[in-house]
Structure 1
């Protein structure tokens, strides 16, 4: 029979052993797995790509174990970066990443996630509250975008739907560099300007340009901004592509529950050079149009509509079918497995 002294010694011994195991477990606990680096290139830095910056700044990529390196570059450089493996994933339009590639390009880059559901450009005029009908553009001049840009392709599609043949019934200037178009319009060139945010809100704030039409709303749903990777990268990094898609889907879900002001608070650090009022107005404008989809799935009908518009515009060098250019596995998996509900007391009406 144990004496009181022996019982005390035994309890003390057991306590020491338990504490030793506890501290050993804390000290030698296996470290978290290292984050996997992903090189992303975007073709412009814009609030039109809002879900991407939410995913970065809210830590959704980090939650998935990804360390995203984001760089902004030209469309030509982004496409080349996939080939020479300087980028793992690029964010751009289908016209830039697939439709304008040489017809014999094999294998094609593959689009795996949609970031937007509408084009993000607008038509600006100089007079505030001007009544507008598309027929008003006949015999007028527009400062347009590059021929292979999604904005230009969809603008021309809209014009044709209203009986206006681009370059025949109206003049479209396409020789003005992108960095000079806003100033050219401000200085008196053109009757109208095709541009996107933040140029739109900058022009309105300056009193020399006002929105009369949303090209995205007029053109209808199309998977304009998409994430694209090489077939080889997707085949050899399926887990990374899935984690990346999960992160974008979380951001898209987050947007369904939060206001433009809340989104502004999250992404403002990604736009340090942009005036705060201009950035907020840009986000409000895009949100009011339901610019961003509820999930990253690229569906066939909008893809084919965009492809047909590119063909009519003469910007379909590669007639890639939906089956050849799009993979839906990752977006479907994300929607089936991610159950993300942001902490909020009230769902935002959109």
Structure 2
């Protein structure tokens, strides 16, 4: 009896020791995302398909709801990595940061918003916006800057040709439009598709298609973190690249199925519709490399909107070492 008990205890101790060793090998990363969106599908695929686990990573995801809050979390060491628009790193650098925020892996490479009309329009032309009320995004944010850039590219002066509303909080824009504010609204998915399904509005154009490629949402971290945790960052980037390739190769239904647990309140057909839209217009980057042309386009858009504090060299705030290493590019 005593021999049996000793053997059982020894087995338990062995299991506990092995478990502790495995846990010790797992590296934890605190990731802050600017919002929770189907636009970020490859990230959620990396989680659902176990790509982070394969790299020995335990990613703790927190939604910080806003670029300013996301950057505050990163700068105050509340998170290790942030998923947010690259413009935020430019704002921080322009203020004279001693520990620059570096973009090291790109997730999306187009704007993710759509122009939604209150009325159904068969053959939409941008000039139809003249004289209307346009419910835009927050001033200084990437969606609003891209929105104004696209309007100007299509011969619309946002300040003169229409009534531009941009004092509504991001979270309240859909409800403001639903309650009757604006003839047109700039919306992210899945809200745009939900409105279309309900008959509340109709998608007539894509800002992502019109604006061209930009580093719209990237993974970034403080330079000190990248230097001190290079192996961890490389593993993180490798997992993201695996997910990007997975999204590239799989059909819409498989992608929707993989990310559905992240959006329990969104109907499956809406998730599929949104994934298809973003995939078709090339919003999901196929590799994590942020190239120089995209960086230049970003600053041109910011400059056009009057929100560029200073031109920052590509090499100053972009590190492609990890992305090129894991993708072999």
1:61 to 46, 52, 59: 52
Deviations along 1:204-237, whole A, 9 cap, x unmatched?
1111111111000000111101011001100100
Deviations along 1:124-144, whole A, 9 cap, x unmatched?
002234321111112221110
User: Which residue does the alignment assign to 1:218?
Assistant: 210
RMSD: 1.9
1:43 to 14, 34, 41: 34
Using the TM superposition, give the Cα deviation of residue 171 of structure 1 relative to its aligned residue in structure 2, in angstroms.
Answer: 1.9
What runs of 5+ residues in structure 2 fail to find an aligned partner?
Answer: 1-10
**Does the CA contact (< 8 Å) of 2:92 and 2:101 recur in 1?**
no
Using the TM superposition, give the Cα deviation of residue 272 of structure 1 relative to its aligned residue in structure 2, in angstroms.
Answer: 1.5
Using the TM superposition, give the Cα deviation of residue 69 of structure 1 relative to its aligned residue in structure 2, in angstroms.
Answer: 0.1
1:260 to 245, 252, 262: 252
User: Which residue does the alignment assign to 2:80?
Assistant: 88
Moved more, 49-58 or 120-129: 120-129
Show the 5 A alignment for 1:1-350: 31-32=21-22, 34-74=25-65, 75-99=67-91, 102-336=94-328
The 1-side partners of 2:212 and 2:75 are apart by 32
User: Which residue does the alignment assign to 1:12?
Assistant: none
**What secondary structure sits across from 2:168 in the alignment?**
coil
**What secondary structure sits across from 1:115 in the alignment?**
strand
The 2-side partners of 1:106 and 1:43 are apart by 23
The 1-side partners of 2:92 and 2:196 are apart by 33
**What secondary structure sits across from 2:328 in the alignment?**
helix
The 2-side partners of 1:216 and 1:327 are apart by 24
Deviations along 1:155-193, whole A, 9 cap, x unmatched?
111111122222122221111122221122122211100
Q: Which runs of 4+ in 1 moved over 3 A?
A: 26-33, 99-103
**Does the CA contact (< 8 Å) of 2:193 and 2:203 recur in 1?**
no
**Does the CA contact (< 8 Å) of 2:28 and 2:58 recur in 1?**
yes
Using the TM superposition, give the Cα deviation of residue 101 of structure 1 relative to its aligned residue in structure 2, in angstroms.
Answer: 5.5
The 2-side partners of 1:106 and 1:281 are apart by 44
**What secondary structure sits across from 1:188 in the alignment?**
coil
What runs of 5+ residues in structure 1 fail to find an aligned partner?
Answer: 1-22, 338-350
**Does the CA contact (< 8 Å) of 2:111 and 2:208 recur in 1?**
yes
Q: TM-score, normalised by structure 2?
A: 0.90
Using the TM superposition, give the Cα deviation of residue 102 of structure 1 relative to its aligned residue in structure 2, in angstroms.
Answer: 4.1
Using the TM superposition, give the Cα deviation of residue 29 of structure 1 relative to its aligned residue in structure 2, in angstroms.
Answer: 7.6
The 2-side partners of 1:34 and 1:318 are apart by 42
Deviations along 1:225-259, whole A, 9 cap, x unmatched?
10110011001000011001000000010012101
Q: How many residues align?
A: 313
**What secondary structure sits across from 2:25 in the alignment?**
coil
